[in-house]
Amino acid sequence: MNNALPPVIAIDGPSGSGKGTVASRVALTLGWNLLDSGALYRILAQVSRQRGKSGDDPAQLEALARGLRVDFKQTAAGDEQILLEGRDVTAALRSEDSGKRASELAVIPEVRRGLMAVQRNFRRAPGLVADGRDMGTVVFPDAGLKIFLTASVEERAKRRYNQLKQKGLNANLPALFQDLVARDERDRNRSVSPLKPASDAVVLNTTGTAVEAVVDQVLDLAHRRYGKAAAGSRQGG
């Protein structure tokens, strides 16, 4: 039955594991669509905050989530661009505060339910590369290729630090480290869709590995799994 649906590569993992960069580059190389599911949680966090008190009500959050109109684009350099109703909101979503509030909202079952259909709508031809925490376990359990990226907390905190600095944002390494530990704890221990590898996921530990090498590993797995379908529109396939 699922043969009729476009193929999905699910890339899950904790914050700072490199999944966002890897997903974006793999999607660009293959010419497939991209879903940064974490950005949906971050956007919902921002939009609901602007609503004040009423933004905390689970039923309202679910309705708000269902109505989100988000697109992901990539610059020629492979950098991700996040559009909310056509407006570029990429920079506003990168702050640590937005990630923290997103992970607080992510424990609410109504929020996850509201975002489910939004996420599944990204599954369009020729294929989808989806990154997050529960892509392979809950949102796309039938994904043909599931990757789970890990890395030590120290390395992940350093990566986040360098990313923020590169973007000219304020960053404090000890604070980032504490925030990652707290976020990991919340993401792994929540009762709905906790962060964990799918039983059929390929687990890649990226500690000490350059992002380019991880991208090559995932592309290699994609070619083996999907053959011509993952030949890549930008490579003439």
The verdict on 133 binding ligand C5P (CB under 6 A) reads yes
Binding residue for ligand C5P, selected from 18, 43, 65, 99, defined by CB under 6 A: 99
CA distances, 130 to each of 34, 82, 109, 144 (Å): 6, 14, 20, 12
Q: What are phi and psi of 70, to 5 degrees?
A: -125, 140
Contacts 24+ apart (CB under 8 A), 113-119: 113/62, 113/65, 114/61, 114/62, 114/63, 114/64, 114/65, 114/66, 115/37, 115/40, 115/41, 115/44, 115/65, 115/68, 117/66, 118/40, 118/65, 118/66, 118/68, 118/70, 119/35, 119/37, 119/40
Interacting span for ligand C5P (CB under 6 A) from 65-73, 96-104, 145-153, 156-164:
96-104
Q: How far is the CB of 198 from ligand C5P (least distance, A)?
A: 13
State the DSSP code for 66.
H
The verdict on 183 binding ligand C5P (CB under 6 A) reads yes
The count of residues interacting with ligand C5P (CB under 6 A) is 15
Ranked by CB distance to ligand C5P, the top (closest) residue is: 38
Binding residue for ligand C5P, selected from 37, 46, 150, 206, defined by CB under 6 A: 37
Helix (H) or strand (E) segment spanning residue 26: helix 19-30
The verdict on 89 binding ligand C5P (CB under 6 A) reads no
Residues facing 87 on adjacent strands: 84
Which residue lies nearer to ligand C5P by CB, 36 or 221? 36
Q: How far is the CB of 88 from ligand C5P (least distance, A)?
A: 17
Q: How far is the CB of 76 from ligand C5P (least distance, A)?
A: 23
Q: Give the contact letters, 53-82, x = binds to ligand C5P (CB under 6 A), - = no.
A: ------------------------------
Q: How far is the CB of 111 from ligand C5P (least distance, A)?
A: 9
Q: How far is the CB of 15 from ligand C5P (least distance, A)?
A: 5
Enter the tokens of residue 221.
């797995």
* Segment 150 to 169, residues that bind ligand C5P, using CB under 6 A: none
CB 10 within 8 A of CB 130: yes
Residues facing 84 on adjacent strands: 70, 87
Binding site for ligand C5P (CB under 6 A): 15, 37-39, 41-42, 99, 102-103, 106, 132-134, 183, 187
